[in-house]
Structure 1
Amino acid sequence: MIAGVDGSASSIGAVEAAAREAHLRGVGLRIVRASGQAAGHLPAGAPPWNPADHGLEPIVRGELARAEERAHAIAPDTEITRSVVAGEALEVLEAESRSASLAVVGSRGLGSFAGLLLGSTAVHLAAHGRCPLMVVRGRPDPSGPVVLAVDGSEAGEAAVEFAFAEAALRKAPLAAVHVWNTWSERAYEGPGDPLIAVVADADLIREAEQHLLDETVASWQKAHPEVVVERRLVRSRIRPALIDASRGAQLVVTGARGRGGFTGLLLGSVSQALLHHAHCPVTVVRGKE
């Protein structure tokens, strides 16, 4: 498991969350600090940027030491290592994610512009990382449920698996939330046409969407009988409904792309909305490619 740090308060919160996750899983935690600057920000022909060349190495090492101290305070029995990796943060953490079970970052880094709700590192990793990404944000309720955003897509199956496993680790209830509306195409065969769907029988759509929710949850509920599952079928706009469901939750789990995603997009609009506006940490789980 890895946690990315940059010296910001947000990244220290990410380290604390990562330490808890590592303790739950019984795995080690690697705290990573990138030390470099994107090539596009350097003059042509300039040597790679290195903090040691600018007298910043003691600061970087100090940031890592403080992060490790916080992690040990949270999980004293967890093996924790730290390292400075040469390179720009986006590239470093994407590479690190290839061998990690989970990557954890804060929602805002030192490189964020004023007014932005989410740092570019988190967005990039959610779309391009090779393992599930937890973005630490909001105020989680430790007694609340793990909320699973159910979309019924094949790509979203990995998120369902992760959410059940996470609820089992945390000994928390799972709220499986599926949002529908009369624009749904699920009740129709053949090419979906939202102009037709808008005049459809709402009861017919509701029945189809309930079936989708039940089918998605059933097999994983059998695999994790210890997890108490609440199935929520909500008729609403998808993004506001899921953001609202994050109130009082300890974690929201979503796939990177839902059944409404456009081909070629690596991160769907629902995932992005949760990353920017959820009231608790969000884990984005990419489907198998």
Structure 2
Amino acid sequence: MDRRCAVNAPVVVGVDGSASSLDAVDVAAREARLRGCALKVVHAFTWPMMHVPLGPSPLGPPEGGLRNIADRLVADAVKRAQSAEPEVEVTSALVTGEPLTVLEAQSRKATLVVVGTRGAGGFVGLLVGSTAVHLAAHSHSPVLVVKDQPRRVQQIVVGVDGSPAGEAAVEFAFAEAALRNAPLTALHAWTLWNAPLPELQDDGLSYTEPADKLRDSEERLVAQVLAGRTQRYPGVPVKRKVVRSGAREALIEASKDAALVVLGARGRGGFAGLLLGSVSQALLHHAHCPVAVVRGTAAGQ
């Protein structure tokens, strides 16, 4: 990803008036500044779909009514963005529709979509809202889900698994680290169950004791994934971390000391047809920092 935005491709942030979405506005404004592009504040206005009166009540104040409330909600979010990053151009849209449908459509012409973990309609006790999870699966651009703001650490962690679908996530993580002037940790977790089995004829290798050679193979995999990108991003300090562990457990633990975790929507071993893998879903729910989910190309998915 280039440091500049493509033409007409802003950072989009979904807002609903909740504290979580306002935190997302702050993050989205910063991401727009880093990329040198505009920020678009979007609110999905669901009430017209329910065929209820949108204007003020004849017995109430003229500034009342659902549409006026929505207009003020968007205006407040715009002011917050302008206050956070005064040099960023901020536009807004009040779009009739359900949040997932609206934001998925917006993602078609977005550099990045930013949302909070839970919206105004979220159920108490949920760790992350359904819109964030479903958008991560269906968005046409990377999705950044904001939680636990702010963070004092700078490190970015990217989950590396060598899958074609994960290539876009690794590229996004390097670009993001370069934009933030942040160090990057490339974390690869493997077990005897998810590592590809070697050929039996290789050096007389037995399937009963493959751990040492599998570990070497997994380390080579990470080196291959990173090789070209470390040359393209020479200013990004990169740490390789290869651990024998479940990916979910390793990434959730790593998120404790990270400003951002970046993942592919679906990695090695995922079932064909799934839009969002179990590891990505687990991190959206349980990570201790914001999470970016990056879908690969259609062929890679």
TM-score by length of 2: 0.87
- Maintained 8 Å contact 1:139/1:279: no
Equivalent in the alignment of 1:246 = 255
Equivalent in the alignment of 2:172 = 162
- Maintained 8 Å contact 2:169/2:294: yes
RMSD (Å) for aligned C-alpha atoms: 1.9
Deviation string 1:56-96 (CA, Å, 9 cap, x unpaired) is 11211111111111111111000001121111111111100
1:149 aligned to 2:159?
yes
- Maintained 8 Å contact 2:23/2:149: no
1:3 aligned to 2:19?
no
1:267 and 1:286 map into 2 onto residues whose CA distance is 9
Amino acid across the alignment from 1:277: H
Equivalent in the alignment of 1:137 = 147
Relative to structure 1, is the Cα distance of residues 17 and 50 closer, same or farther in structure 2, using a 3 angstrom cutoff? Answer: farther
Determine helix, strand or coil for the equivalent of 1:247: helix
- Maintained 8 Å contact 2:48/2:54: no
Equivalent in the alignment of 1:112 = 122
Counterparts of 1:72-91 in structure 2, within 5 Å, are 72-91=82-101
2:15 and 2:153 map into 1 onto residues whose CA distance is 27
- Unpaired segments ≥5 residues, structure 1: 191-195
1:221 aligned to 2:230?
yes
2:196 and 2:296 map into 1 onto residues whose CA distance is 21
Equivalent in the alignment of 1:207 = 216
Determine helix, strand or coil for the equivalent of 2:127: coil
2:53 and 2:247 map into 1 onto residues whose CA distance is 45
2:75 to 60, 65, 70: 65
1:38 and 1:50 map into 2 onto residues whose CA distance is 8
| Identity rate, percent | 54
2:83 and 2:209 map into 1 onto residues whose CA distance is 56
Q: Residue 236 of structure 1: CA displacement?
A: 1.2
Equivalent in the alignment of 2:30 = 20
Relative to structure 1, is the Cα distance of residues 217 and 51 closer, same or farther in structure 2, using a 3 angstrom cutoff? Answer: farther
Equivalent in the alignment of 2:239 = 230
- Maintained 8 Å contact 1:186/1:209: no
1:266 aligned to 2:266?
no
- Unpaired segments ≥5 residues, structure 2: 1-10, 58-64, 201-205
Determine helix, strand or coil for the equivalent of 2:148: coil
Number of residues of Structure 1 aligned to a counterpart in Structure 2: 276
Determine helix, strand or coil for the equivalent of 1:210: helix
2:199 and 2:239 map into 1 onto residues whose CA distance is 29
